[in-house]
C-alpha cells in the first residue's frame, strides 16, 4: 500500500511498488558486487568459487531489477496515456 491507497484501486500504485522493488533489488545486488571486489581473492591469490557464484547471482539480479524497473515505468506510461485519452474523449 502506498500512501493509504491499495494497488487494486490505483492503477499506478502497483507500478510504483514495482519500481521500488526493482530499485531495492538493484541496490542489494550492487552491494553484493561491491563486497565481491574486495573479497574475490583469498590469501593464495586464487578466487573462491563461492565468491564467483555470489557475483554471478548478483549480476543476474542486476538485470532482473533493471527489467522490473523498466516494465513498471512502461506500465505507468501506458496508464498515463490511457487516462489522457479518456480525458480527451470526455472533453
pLDDT for 10-29, tens place per residue?
778 899 999 999 999 999 99
Let me know if residue 1 belongs to a domain. Answer: no
Let me know if residue 82 belongs to a domain. Answer: yes
pLDDT attached to residue 29: 94
Series of mean pLDDT values for 10-residue runs along the chain (91 residues): 56 89 95 74 57 85 96 92 88 74
Domain span including residue 30: 13-90
Integer Cα distance of 40 and 37 in angstroms: 6
Burial environment of residue 85 by CB neighbours within 10 A (0 to 12, 13 to 18, 19 or more): exposed
User: How many domains is the chain partitioned into structurally?
Assistant: 1
Let me know if residue 35 belongs to a domain. Answer: yes
pLDDT attached to residue 15: 92
Neighbours of 14 (CB within 10 A): 17
Integer Cα distance of 64 and 78 in angstroms: 21
pLDDT attached to residue 45: 58
Let me know if residue 22 belongs to a domain. Answer: yes
Let me know if residue 3 belongs to a domain. Answer: no
Let me know if residue 6 belongs to a domain. Answer: no
Let me know if residue 17 belongs to a domain. Answer: yes
Let me know if residue 52 belongs to a domain. Answer: yes
pLDDT attached to residue 1: 44
What's the mean pLDDT when you consider all of the chain?
81
Amino acid at each position: 500500500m502506498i500512501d493509504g491507497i491499495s494497488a487494486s484501486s490505483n492503477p499506478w500504485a502497483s507500478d510504483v511498488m514495482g519500481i521500488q522493488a526493482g530499485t531495492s533489488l538493484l541496490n542489494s545486488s550492487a552491494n553484493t558486487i561491491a563486497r565481491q571486489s574486495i573479497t574475490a581473492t583469498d590469501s593464495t591469490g586464487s578466487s573462491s568459487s563461492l565468491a564467483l557464484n555470489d557475483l554471478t547471482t548478483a549480476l543476474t539480479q542486476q538485470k532482473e531489477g533493471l527489467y522490473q524497473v523498466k516494465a513498471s515505468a512502461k506500465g505507468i506510461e501506458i496508464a498515463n496515456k490511457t487516462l489522457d485519452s479518456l480525458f480527451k474523449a470526455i472533453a
